[in-house]
Structure 1
Amino acid sequence: MSDPQVKGWCPGAYRPMMSGDGLIVRVRPRLGSIPADKVQGLCDLSLTHGNGILDLTNRANLQMRGVRDHQAVLDGLWDLGLLDPTPELEQRRNIIVAPVCGPHHVSIAIADRLITKLNALPDLPAKFGFVVDADGPRQLSAASGDIRIETSVSGGLIVRADGSDLGQAVTESEVVNAAVALARWFNETVNPDIRRMAPHLETTPLPHCFARETFAPSAPALTPGPLTNAFAYGVPFGSIDALALKTLLTRSKAGHMRFAPNRIFILDGAAITDMQAFATSADDPRLNIHACPGAPACASASVTTRDAADILAPHLKGRSLHISGCAKGCAHRASTDVVAVGRDGAFDLVRNGHPWDEPLQRGLALDRLADELELLT
């Protein structure tokens, strides 16, 4: 089977997306962080005007599900200081920031200056984004992005086009203008049918000025557990119960909540608080599972995915699992050890592949699927 096409845009606060459980309203945390009291307010909005479920997305954003009164949510986000002045500025502020800061907070400082230059950017595709990852070894090498601001192998800064092994060496005063220049080059040379940098580089050579310096190695992946004056929590399946999050913030006495693209958030200044809703260690089997919202939240799905994920987690034996409500595979685009694909209320089983690949078995009930996972070698 071929890779299904996905939507060319993502929901925002001003431009929500309709799903089976209501509107999806996405909030992009400024500089990758939100003060804890404002997160509490966001939870209250979700409980009052949505279905009480928040998604932590692959681009380290929060989105409210099941929204019934969009204007009330916009008003609430504005009061909380979590809404951009215009829809255009919101779309352009598609920036992921390294979640663990170095002693000089270089990534935050660069991202803050980049935000002030957003009006200088050309018109870019809706999913075109920036990754600011300049606090030592790269934390966001697996994160989706098109223009990357990173540490070079020599310890300086580079601006790198995603898909290129080399970037442009820059000083801290030059970095934002260099990123804008690279965005303009993309805009001036790209085929309108191509929306991302890496596919563009497959057919269009990158000018030598943008490709001279190698990047630093990657840092170990961030996992749940203690950090310096902070604690990292995993979000099983990327789904957060708003009431559980409010409870965690209150009990932990956290000051800020920072967001990472691998379904992890960090609470600064927080006391360690163990709650079943969140993963507190890297060996939690739920962290090896990717699961879309499933039915009834998504009209394309014919199975409940996250309840199934909880049932299947003990049977994984260290394997990665993707439970997809349909063959589109929205929750995870990469291959996993096992894939369970919803079809007509049952599951098709794929090994070492994607939801759109040919299954080994079709039409399995959930209990039968659990038995098959036990038998896999």
Structure 2
Amino acid sequence: MTAPLPIPNTAIPPMVRGACPALATPMMTGDGLLARIGLDGPIRPADLIRIGELAIRHGNGLIDISARGNIQLRGLSAPSARALETDVRLMNLPLRDGVAVETGALAGHDPQEITSPEPLASAIRAFISEYGLSRRLAAKFVVVVDGGGQLPLHALLADIRLLAVRRGTEIFWRILLGGTAGTGRSVGVVADADATTCVTLILARIAAMDVPVRGRALDSAEVREWLGDVVIADDDVVMEQTAVALGLFQLMNAAVSCEARHQPQVTSPPRGEVPERQRGDEGATRQHLHVAISPSSGPSDHLLPDGEKTLASGRITDIPLPDQFAARIGIPFGQCPAETLINLGRQAETAGIAKIRPAIDHSLVFFGTQDACRSMIEFSKDLILSQNDPRAKIAACPGSPACASASIKTHALGTLAARDVANLLDGSFTLHLSGCTKGCAHPAKALVSLVGMNDSTALIFEGKTSDMPLKLIRHGEEGKTLGALAHLVRLERGAGETTRDCLCRLGPARLEKVLSQGLS
């Protein structure tokens, strides 16, 4: 029987987050420099192929698709990073430079949107550019403009968030500071006509401060005073919707084709209405929808869900252009060899895919005909194509050796968990695997986290990666610990209970006791 590791009586000191790689300013990691390619628009299949080739030429051939939908190339040296920037800029991609103003892959074209976020987002980008605010706002400052629809950005952290709401026949924008849609602090609601003025005023005030300030540090009452009478009081609770259902739909036809083999169906809210608020894992909401599709003018990048697939999973849905569909494919743990993107790009060219957009939850969206999108799904069997894929329920950072701060191999552990304890991963919670206490892959609280430390791995229950551990585990025993949790849930789960329900009912004291016995 091995002696248990001592449990600290204080929370783990958090490591510093905030370093932000960019194409012009790559960040040092455990496997060399990392450069980020942020995009504000779609790219061609040939561009995806070229990015993969550049990752091999200039880096170590590993590519990340981040939770926010950024493409990151790893293993660069200082000279190769400069060469990469030159090569990428020659591609004439829709690159995002400076402060991120995010609208999502489907902005302006989703028939489920309350309104298009693009006009407001474009005005904000223009203001930031005209007045040089990227140099004066904090690193990683993010503005999210969310018009609603099938790919909500509710789970993304933002300094300033604007959520579209409809009241009667009028459009308003709810302004939130810091956090996610569920945790951000509300300033209030402003009319659509006042939204640009309000947001640019807030940005100008922040930029004029003596030190860079993040949205989470702002006082919502003070910001409300800045805006004056244009702000309407907002007592509504914001639903944080982190999961997006996936599936197959026929274009512009009320007869929706989908196979819901595993999940119950919930009718979607009509277009333009504020969605019903539901609370789930860390505020997550999983909606499995049948949707009647209506025509929409202009080009479009739509994804509409069915009841089978969700999160970062593969999906085929419609775009309101003749014979157009879209396939959304998840990248396991957000990382793949460059050859994976090259092969996807080549298959997309062969299939006649029109365009591609990286999207939230480590995914890529391919737009084209129904046959083209079906071929992408068939081609991507090793990637995440269903919410029932256990890998879709795991948030894992790059881990060791890719990250210099990491002390555990998170991807190997995630693969083991998906293979050996799939019954534990029922979709009611996200298993967080963090190489260190920064918690980059899942900054919010998680039901269960395994966090790498120098001499051990911390098991944290219902907390952040810097919170006090429930138990310290010796390196190499993480899989055994997950197996013990899975066995406990199999024995103790009541009728109708999810894994989350069961673990929360048992509580930390019971869990710690069982794990101590199981690992002795």
> With structure 1 as the length reference, what TM-score do the two structures score?
0.86
Tell me what 2:47 maps to: 38
Stretches of structure 1 lacking an aligned partner (at least 5 in a row) = none
The DSSP-based 3-state class of the residue aligned with 1:153 is: strand
- Does residue 160 of structure 2 align to residue 160 of structure 1? no
The DSSP-based 3-state class of the residue aligned with 1:118 is: helix
- State the Cα RMSD in Å: 2.9
Q: Which has the higher strand share?
A: 1
Work out whether residues 159 and 178 of structure 1, in 8 Å CA contact, stay in contact via their aligned partners in 2: no
Whichever residue aligns with residue 461 of structure 2, its letter is R
Tell me what 1:27 maps to: 37
Work out whether residues 12 and 468 of structure 2, in 8 Å CA contact, stay in contact via their aligned partners in 1: no
Percent same amino acid at aligned positions? 27
- 2:373 aligned to 264, 271, 286, which one? 271
- 2:217 aligned to 186, 189, 199, which one? 199
Q: Distance in 1 between matches of 2:24 and 2:43?
A: 19
Larger Rg: 2
Displacement after TM superposition at 1:138 (Å): 7.9
Q: Distance in 2 between matches of 1:344 and 1:44?
A: 36
Relative to structure 1, the CA distance from residue 219 to residue 280 in structure 2 (aligned partners, 3 Å threshold; closer, same or farther) is same
Runs of 4+ residues over 4 Å off in structure 1: 135-138, 213-220
Tell me what 2:92 maps to: 81
Give CA deviations for 1:176-205 in whole Å, capped at 9, x if unaligned: 4443222113334x573x632232126735
Whichever residue aligns with residue 395 of structure 2, its letter is H
The DSSP-based 3-state class of the residue aligned with 1:164 is: strand
Which deviates the most, 158-167 or 41-50? 158-167
Work out whether residues 56 and 263 of structure 1, in 8 Å CA contact, stay in contact via their aligned partners in 2: yes
Work out whether residues 367 and 373 of structure 2, in 8 Å CA contact, stay in contact via their aligned partners in 1: no
Q: Distance in 2 between matches of 1:127 and 1:306?
A: 25
Whichever residue aligns with residue 240 of structure 1, its letter is C
Tell me what 1:184 maps to: 204
Whichever residue aligns with residue 214 of structure 2, its letter is R
> With structure 2 as the length reference, what TM-score do the two structures score?
0.64
Aligned residues: 367
- 2:138 aligned to 125, 136, 141, which one? 125
Matches within 5 A, 1:334-353: 334-344=444-454, 346-353=456-463
- Does residue 101 of structure 2 align to residue 91 of structure 1? no
Displacement after TM superposition at 1:170 (Å): 2.3
Work out whether residues 396 and 433 of structure 2, in 8 Å CA contact, stay in contact via their aligned partners in 1: yes
Matches within 5 A, 1:99-178: 99-100=105-106, 101-102=109-110, 106-121=116-131, 122=133, 123-134=136-147, 139-154=152-167, 155-158=170-173, 160-162=175-177, 163-164=185-186, 166-171=188-193, 175-178=195-198
Q: Distance in 2 between matches of 1:78 and 1:45?
A: 12
- 1:238 aligned to 322, 334, 337, which one? 334
Give CA deviations for 1:290-324 in whole Å, capped at 9, x if unaligned: 11111111112222110111001241342421111
The DSSP-based 3-state class of the residue aligned with 2:24 is: coil
Give CA deviations for 1:258-281 in whole Å, capped at 9, x if unaligned: 233322332111422242442111
Stretches of structure 2 lacking an aligned partner (at least 5 in a row) = 1-10, 178-184, 245-309, 319-324, 490-520
Whichever residue aligns with residue 26 of structure 1, its letter is R
Work out whether residues 407 and 453 of structure 2, in 8 Å CA contact, stay in contact via their aligned partners in 1: yes
Q: Distance in 2 between matches of 1:346 and 1:37?
A: 45
Whichever residue aligns with residue 67 of structure 2, its letter is N
Whichever residue aligns with residue 156 of structure 1, its letter is I
The DSSP-based 3-state class of the residue aligned with 1:34 is: coil
Q: Distance in 2 between matches of 1:56 and 1:313?
A: 20
Relative to structure 1, the CA distance from residue 298 to residue 9 in structure 2 (aligned partners, 3 Å threshold; closer, same or farther) is closer
Work out whether residues 134 and 151 of structure 1, in 8 Å CA contact, stay in contact via their aligned partners in 2: yes
Relative to structure 1, the CA distance from residue 7 to residue 83 in structure 2 (aligned partners, 3 Å threshold; closer, same or farther) is farther
Matches within 5 A, 1:221-236: 221-222=243-244, 223=310, 224=313, 225-228=315-318, 229-236=325-332
Matches within 5 A, 1:284-295: 284-295=389-400
